[in-house]
Structure 1
Amino acid sequence: MDEETLERVRAVVAAIPPGSVLSYGDVAELAGLRSARLVGRILAEDGADISWHRVLRSDGTIAEHLRQRQLELLRGEGVLADGARINMRRYRWSGP
């Protein structure tokens, strides 16, 4: 993966305002990529210093290994889960 791709993904994620979320696919589209999986990989490898917690699966669910921490961070921003799912219609950011 090239540096330009990495920075485009990081810029999109960094732009998501507190209290809002995007799906991995949303981020990929805004960054001009075809792969939501690539977004996940970038965030896993180089996303600790940005708002990674605002990026979810398209159905609003969260990976099990991230669930507790991600829900805690989102709750702190006013994003409330229904069980383990975030209402994407309610909280999805409409973009720049």
Structure 2
Amino acid sequence: MQPFTAEVVRVLKEIPEGYVVSYGQVARMAGSPRAARQVVRILHTMSEKYDLPWHRVVNVRGEIAVPNEESKDLQRMLLLGEGVAFLSDGRVDLSVFHKD
């Protein structure tokens, strides 16, 4: 595993239940602030293998950004199950649930 990938995996595993972070924030915490798309790739390919909390990662606007409706519904359900609330427009309220 490449060092950046290993660091992303570590960062993702530290996201506490009931909080979300953005793809860009994960990239910054892993040492490569411009690698948000790489974080997406890592989540897509390694979430199951490393039991990553993929559902706790949203875009910078607090939106669920997975490509299909079934996955969006699952992510929303998992976040709701952890106590994460959504605004009326479907975004996570980052002022409350964003992990710094």
Per the normalisation by structure 2, the TM-score is 0.86
Determine the C-alpha separation between the residues in 1 that align with 2:35 and 2:41: 10
Q: Does 1:10 align with 2:9?
A: yes
Select the structure with the greater relative contact order (CA < 8 A; seq sep ≥ 6).
1
Q: Does 1:84 align with 2:90?
A: yes
CA positional deviation for 1:72: 0.5
> RMSD over aligned Cα, in angstroms?
1.2
Greater Cα shift, 7-16 or 82-91: 82-91
- Map 1:55-66 onto structure 2 (within 5 A): 55-63=57-65, 64-65=67-68, 66=71
Determine the C-alpha separation between the residues in 2 that align with 1:35 and 1:50: 18
Give unpaired runs (5+ residues) of structure 1. none
Partner of 1:62, secondary structure, is: coil
Per the normalisation by structure 1, the TM-score is 0.89
Deviation digits for residues 5-46 of structure 1, max 9, x if unmatched? Answer: 111001101100001110000000000012111101110011
- Map 1:39-54 onto structure 2 (within 5 A): 39-48=39-48, 49-54=51-56
Give unpaired runs (5+ residues) of structure 2. none
Amino-acid identity (%): 39
8 A contact 1:60–1:88 mirrored in 2? yes
Determine the C-alpha separation between the residues in 1 that align with 2:27 and 2:36: 5
Runs of 4+ with >6 A deviation: none
CA positional deviation for 1:90: 1.1
Determine the C-alpha separation between the residues in 1 that align with 2:41 and 2:12: 13
Letter aligned with residue 77 of structure 2: E
